[in-house]
C-alpha cells in the first residue's frame, strides 16, 4: 500500500505545483522549453512543470526614486538634483525578453537622462520651469523605454539643492533686482509727474485768467496761516495792464 501511494502522492504534488493563480494586476510570461510561448492571466492557469516556466509580471504603476545626481548647469553652476519616476509595464513579453532587469535599466536611464536634460539649461530655468523640464525628461524616457514594454507616465523633480555660497549669491541678486524695480518705478512716477506739471503750466500760460485765478487761490491758502506778515510775489501779468495804461497817459497828454 505504501509503495502504491508514492506515485499518487508525487502526482498530487506535481498537479499542485502546476496550478497557478494570478491576480487581476498580474500576468504570467510562459516559456516552453526555453522559448517564449504566450502571456497568461489573470486567474487560474496551468503551468506544466519541467517543460514550462512562468515569470510573473506586475502591471501596476511603480514609483521609483531617482538618486541624487550631481548636475552642472549650462551656466556652470553645480547643483544636486533628485526626482521620482512613475511607470508601469504595458507589454510583459518585452519587459522580460528585451531587457535583463527592467527596473534597474529604467533607474539607470532615468539618472542619465536627468543629468543630460538639466545640463542643457541654466540654473534659473531649473528653479522656475520645472514643469517644462519634467515634460522633456518624461518624453525622452518614454521614447527609450518603449522597446522594453514600459510606459513612463510621469516624472517629477523633487529637490534642487545649492551650496551656501550660491544661495547667498541668488539672494543678493534678488535684492538687487528688487532695488532696480523700485528705482524704475520711482523714475516712472517722476516722469509722469513732470509731464503733468508741464501740461498744467502750458494750460495756465495759454489762459491768463486761469493764471490769475490760480494766483488768487494761492493767496487764499496763504492767508489761512496765522501770521502777522504775508509776503507774496506779484505776477507781471497782473501789473502789465496798469503799466501800459500809465505809460500811455503821457503820450496822450502831450
Q: What is the pLDDT of residues 114-131, one digit of tens each?
A: 999 999 998 888 888 999
pLDDT computed for residue 149 by the predictor:
95
Burial 4-21 (b: 16+ CB within 10 A, else e): eeeeeeeeeeeeeeeebe
pLDDT computed for residue 181 by the predictor:
86
pLDDT computed for residue 253 by the predictor:
43
Tens digits of per-residue pLDDT, 200-227? 777 766 766 666 666 667 767 666 666 6
Cis peptide before 140 (omega within 30 of 0): no
What is residue 50's DSSP assignment?
T
pLDDT computed for residue 204 by the predictor:
66
Whole-number mean pLDDT of the chain?
83
Average pLDDT over residues 227-253: 58
The least confident of 48-62, 127-141, 158-172 is 158-172
pLDDT computed for residue 31 by the predictor:
96
Phi-psi region of 104 (alpha: psi -120 to 50; beta: other; left: phi over 0): alpha
- Strands, sheet with 35-40, edge to edge from the N-terminal-most edge strand: 35-40, 26-32, 52-58
Residue 244: pLDDT band (50, 70, 90) is: low
Average pLDDT over residues 122-146: 91
Residue 3: pLDDT band (50, 70, 90) is: low
Residues 6+ apart with CB under 8 A from 133: 117, 118, 121, 125, 126, 157
Nearest to 71 by CA among 166, 181, 212, 152: 166
Give the total residue count for the chain.
254
Average pLDDT over residues 86-98: 95
The least confident of 82-86, 137-141, 195-199 is 195-199
pLDDT computed for residue 11 by the predictor:
77
Residues 6+ apart with CB under 8 A from 62: 86, 87, 88, 89, 103
- Taking the domain 62-162, which CATH number applies? 3.30.479.30
pLDDT computed for residue 182 by the predictor:
86
- Domain range summary for the chain, segments of one domain joined by +: 11-58, 62-162
Say how far apart CA 69 and CA 126 lie, in whole Å: 14
Helices (H), 119-162: 123-128, 130-145
pLDDT computed for residue 223 by the predictor:
67
231 compared with 57, residue with greater pLDDT: 57
Residue 252: pLDDT band (50, 70, 90) is: very low
Backbone angles phi, psi at 98, to 5 degrees: -80, -20
Amino acid at each position: 500500500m505504501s509503495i502504491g501511494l508514492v506515485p499518487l502522492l508525487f502526482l498530487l504534488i506535481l498537479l499542485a505545483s502546476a496550478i497557478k493563480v494570478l491576480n487581476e494586476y498580474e500576468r504570467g510570461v510562459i516559456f516552453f522549453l526555453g522559448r517564449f510561448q504566450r502571456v497568461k492571466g489573470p486567474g487560474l492557469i496551468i503551468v506544466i512543470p519541467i517543460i514550462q516556466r512562468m515569470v510573473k509580471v506586475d502591471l501596476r504603476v511603480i514609483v521609483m526614486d531617482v538618486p541624487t545626481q550631481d548636475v552642472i548647469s549650462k551656466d556652470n553652476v553645480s547643483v544636486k538634483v533628485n526626482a521620482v519616476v512613475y511607470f508601469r509595464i504595458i507589454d510583459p513579453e518585452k519587459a522580460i525578453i528585451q531587457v535583463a532587469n527592467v527596473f534597474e535599466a529604467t533607474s539607470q536611464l532615468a539618472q542619465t537622462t536627468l543629468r543630460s536634460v538639466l545640463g542643457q539649461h541654466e540654473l534659473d530655468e531649473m528653479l522656475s520651469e520645472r514643469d517644462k523640464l519634467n515634460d522633456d525628461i518624461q518624453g525622452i524616457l518614454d521614447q527609450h523605454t518603449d522597446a522594453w514594454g514600459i510606459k513612463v507616465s510621469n516624472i517629477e523633480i523633487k529637490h534642487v539643492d545649492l551650496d551656501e555660497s550660491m544661495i547667498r549669491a541668488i539672494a543678493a541678486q534678488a535684492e538687487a533686482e528688487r532695488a532696480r524695480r523700485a528705482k524704475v518705478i520711482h523714475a516712472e512716477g517722476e516722469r509722469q509727474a513732470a509731464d503733468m506739471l508741464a501740461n498744467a503750466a502750458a494750460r495756465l500760460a495759454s489762459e491768463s485768467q486761469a493764471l490769475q485765478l490760480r494766483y488768487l487761490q494761492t493767496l487764499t491758502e496763504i492767508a489761512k496761516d496765522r501770521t502777522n506778515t504775508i509776503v507774496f510775489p506779484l505776477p507781471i501779468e497782473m501789473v502789465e495792464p496798469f503799466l501800459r495804461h500809465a505809460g500811455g497817459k503821457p503820450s496822450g497828454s502831450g
